[in-house]
């Protein structure tokens, strides 16, 4: 019923032999995969406001007017404003506002981060309305329900109107060749305002109407856009609407505090359901971490959290040569005691003896050459992953610094050097007594890396280091941290809070290193309270604002402030950013898992660790091509998935997504021989 109908309708296009049209909003089209499939039901669920869904319905209606689609407008007679009266006009491309003279190269601004899913494109201008001349020139027919105030506003009446209209020859699909005298096919846009509201006379029959809707729509040239508020509906009705709708979006407005954090955003754009009319699975959206903004001229959807950007080339070169000088100096000093120490290769021979694998892990002499550097695909847009709440909360943290007596800086032990935010080190660690907490110590070889890491930070002004594993809440590690905190607090004068009897500690670090887990562990061990005081999560971004202080000790009284993880606005290299993604310190929606898996393969081959072939059960030699590795994993573990191929039906394909997760899990679950990603940076101290 949806395929093979190749009629030509203005304002529609064909994709996989299926008719598609626009929603009127370029951002919504981008989330939908480019356009709205014919017979789709698109629901905008606005649960805490009434200002935004109407805008989207106006844009969908304006698209119909300009593309000469017919419109059925459904609204309660009690609604004072008529959406059809003030439809936005089409945006003028190349207007004077968009044609600003480009500045000279020497004054060229820094490239801005484009977080809009529509790349800033807007089809229609909300600030201007359609002129009477445009309305008169359009062949669009606008039907209304109820047509008069005497007609009851009911679901049964709307069902009858839909059946009557969609059975007309211009809207109904033809089972065979269209008769020569039949009217030209046209698209009907159904705009329903307030679906499920109590204003319907037979509001209790909304569930029956929802069930009938797909059957009515599937045999016609029509798309439906509706606004609703599921909080005003029963739980059964709202769940049924989410299930039957082809596309379901929830608009959650932000409170004033959240608006301050996210600057211009007005609310969260939640994707509940995407169309599956032309394929087994929906088109993946640009991201699932979205917000929406209503501007004077446009409605836009933006990505809240973006991937990290690379530093400029000159800065990278300077840092590289500084690192080379430092490493060379350390190697020269070590060579005085014994040249053999500084000449050993970073390969399987340098691994801890207890973690050595069998000889089958070693490549043969015929193995292909491995990459010397990691390069991102040209299609991958590696932009700043520095959401607005980080910038806002960083200022809030600075404002609390006056009342803080001690800084606890938490790190992931797998990236002890590259995982440190230099911004936090400059602005916080240098201003107050400081303790560096290396969390997740169970994921690295402590016998091999503890001393080099402590020596490195002793050389860089951080002599106090405590090792913890907050996941298992080891009592000894927490007690050691407590004693170190008390010693640091009592040994340093605090001129900022001479009249206070209690101490206040701030916990800082990048996302998902275990700051909240550390606070709960301190509270549980010291006070015996098992209930968590702050929310934990095995993903970045759980804590997004500075929390209330938590009491962790009675004698002396010590309180702790939990803070959100803050990443540096710019990363100096691809390796630095990819290490964060590999350690799951960046939201998965901001990265591509396949790219992360490719970096893991590159890193293991570069450091001479070929144990992944044994863990994955691969009898073949190590490879340097991620696609070849994923195919071998799929073949070895029979990872197959059935996909709908247009024109071919269901076909079996390798499930490479599952293979990617399996490969990355080797690192994140600590199954490999070595999990310290900064081993090359620690080479002078090994």
Q: What is the mean pLDDT of each run of 10 residues along the chain (686 residues)?
A: 66 86 94 92 90 93 94 90 90 50 41 70 91 92 90 93 93 81 91 92 91 90 94 89 93 78 82 84 82 91 66 49 54 48 39 39 57 76 53 76 88 90 76 88 91 91 87 79 90 69 88 86 87 67 63 90 76 79 78 89 89 86 90 91 80 90 92 89 86
What is the model's pLDDT at position 490?
Answer: 84
What is the model's pLDDT at position 161?
Answer: 95
Whole-angstrom CA distances from 671 to 124, 463, 617, 680 are: 54, 31, 13, 20
Contacts of 234 (CB under 8 A, 6+ apart): none
Long-range contacts of 540-543 (CB under 8 A, 24+ apart): 540/511, 540/512, 540/565, 540/584, 540/585, 540/586, 540/587, 541/305, 541/511, 541/512, 541/565, 541/587, 542/512, 542/516, 543/515, 543/516
Token pair 């080379």 is found at: 324
Q: β-strands 142-145, 188-195: how paired?
A: unpaired
Q: Rounded distance, CA 283 to CA 321, Å?
A: 45
Continuous H helices in 401-530: 422-424, 446-459, 475-491, 515-527
What are the structural domains of the chain? Answer: 12-92+113-303 (3.40.50.300), 388-562 (3.40.50.300), 592-686 (no CATH)
What DSSP line would sit under 67-92, residue for residue? TT-EEEEE--TT--S-GGGSPEEEP-
Please check whether residue 29 is in contact with residue 22, taking contact to mean a CB–CB distance below 8 angstroms.
yes
What is the model's pLDDT at position 532?
Answer: 79
What is the model's pLDDT at position 451?
Answer: 93
Token duo for residue 444: 């690295």
Long-range contacts of 655-661 (CB under 8 A, 24+ apart): 656/594, 656/630, 656/631, 657/593, 658/634, 659/630, 659/633, 659/634, 660/593, 660/594, 660/596, 660/597, 660/630, 661/593
Whole-angstrom CA distances from 591 to 369, 539, 579, 582, 669 are: 27, 13, 12, 10, 19
Q: Rounded distance, CA 440 to CA 242, Å?
A: 41
Q: β-strands 649-654, 434-439: how paired?
A: unpaired
Question: Hey, is 555 helix, strand or coil?
Answer: coil
The count of C-alpha atoms lying within 13 angstroms of the C-alpha of 185, restricted to the half-sphere facing its C-beta, is 21
Q: Where are the beta strands (DSSP E) in 490-568?
A: 503-508, 550-553, 558-562
Whole-angstrom CA distances from 597 to 348, 389, 455 are: 21, 29, 31
Q: Rounded distance, CA 590 to CA 593, Å?
A: 10
Q: β-strands 299-303, 290-294: how paired?
A: antiparallel
């Amino acid at each position: 019923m949806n395929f093979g109908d190749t009629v030509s309708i203005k304002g529609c296009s064909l994709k996989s032999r299926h008719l598609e049209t626009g929603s009127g909003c370029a951002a919504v089209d981008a989330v939908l995969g480019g356009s709205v499939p014919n017979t789709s039901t698109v629901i905008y669920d606005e649960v805490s406001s009434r200002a935004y869904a109407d805008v989207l319905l106006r844009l969908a209606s304006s698209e119909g007017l300009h593309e000469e689609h017919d419109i059925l407008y459904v609204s309660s007679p009690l609604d004072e404003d008529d959406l059809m009266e003030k439809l936005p006009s089409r945006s003028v491309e190349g207007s004077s506002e968009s044609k600003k003279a480009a500045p000279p190269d020497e004054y060229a601004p820094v490239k801005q981060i484009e977080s809009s899913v529509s790349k800033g494109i807007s089809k229609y201008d909300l600030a201007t309305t359609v002129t009477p001349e445009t309305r008169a020139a359009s062949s669009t027919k606008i039907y209304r329900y109820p047509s008069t105030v005497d007609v009851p506003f009911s679901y049964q009446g709307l069902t009858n109107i839909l059946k009557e209209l969609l059975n007309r020859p211009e809207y109904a699909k033809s089972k065979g060749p269209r008769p020569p005298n039949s009217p030209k096919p046209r698209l009907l846009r159904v705009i329903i305002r307030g679906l499920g509201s109590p204003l319907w006379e037979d509001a209790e029959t909304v569930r029956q109407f929802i069930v009938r809707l797909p059957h009515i729509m599937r045999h016609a040239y029509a798309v439906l856009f509706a606004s609703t508020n599921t909080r005003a509906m029963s739980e059964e009705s709202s769940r049924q609407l989410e299930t039957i709708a082809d596309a379901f979006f929830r608009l959650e407005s932000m409170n004033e505090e959240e608006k301050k954090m996210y600057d211009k955003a007005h609310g969260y754009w939640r994707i509940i359901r995407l169309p599956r009319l032309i394929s087994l699975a929906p088109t993946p959206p640009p991201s699932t971490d979205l917000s929406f903004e209503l501007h004077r001229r446009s409605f836009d959807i933006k990505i809240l959290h973006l991937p990290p950007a690379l530093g400029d080339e000159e800065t990278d070169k300077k840092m590289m040569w500084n690192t080379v000088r430092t490493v060379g100096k350390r190697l020269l000093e070590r060579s005085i005691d014994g040249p053999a120490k500084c000449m050993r290769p970073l390969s399987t021979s340098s691994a801890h003896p207890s973690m050595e694998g069998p000889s089958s892990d070693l490549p043969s002499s015929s193995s292909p050459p491995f990459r010397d550097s990691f390069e991102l695909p040209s299609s991958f847009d590696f932009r700043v992953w520095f959401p607005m709440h980080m910038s806002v909360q960083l200022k809030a943290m600075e404002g609390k610094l006056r009342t803080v007596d001690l800084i606890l800086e938490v790190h992931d032990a797998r990236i002890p050097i590259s995982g440190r935010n230099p911004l936090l080190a400059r602005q916080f660690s240098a201003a107050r007594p400081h303790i560096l907490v290396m969390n997740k110590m169970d994921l690295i070889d402590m016998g091999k890396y503890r001393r080099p890491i402590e020596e490195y930070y002793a050389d860089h002004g951080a002599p106090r280091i405590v090792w913890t594993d907050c996941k298992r809440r080891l009592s000894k590690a927490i007690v050691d941290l407590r004693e170190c905190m008390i010693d640091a607090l009592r040994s340093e004068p605090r001129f900022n809070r001479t009249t206070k009897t209690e101490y206040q500690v701030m916990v800082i670090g990048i996302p998902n290193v275990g700051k909240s887990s550390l606070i709960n562990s301190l509270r549980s061990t010291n006070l015996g309270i098992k209930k968590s005081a702050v929310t934990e999560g095995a993903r970045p971004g759980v804590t997004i604002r500075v929390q209330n202080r938590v009491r962790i000790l009675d004698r002396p009284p010590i309180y702790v402030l939990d803070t959100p993880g803050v990443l540096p606005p710019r990363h100096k290299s691809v390796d630095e950013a990819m290490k964060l993604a590999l350690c799951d310190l960046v939201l998965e929606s901001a990265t591509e898992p396949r790219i992360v898996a490719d970096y893991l393969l590159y890193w293991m081959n570069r450091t001479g660790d070929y144990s992944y072939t044994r863990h994955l059960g691969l009898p073949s030699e190590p490879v340097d091509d991620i696609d070849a590795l994923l195919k071998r994993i799929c073949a070895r573990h029979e990872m197959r998935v059935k996909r709908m191929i247009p024109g071919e039906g269901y076909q079996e394909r390798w499930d490479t997504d599952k293979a990617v997760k399996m490969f990355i899990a080797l690192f994140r679950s600590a199954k490999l021989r070595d999990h310290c990603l900064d081993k090359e940076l620690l080479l002078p101290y090994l």
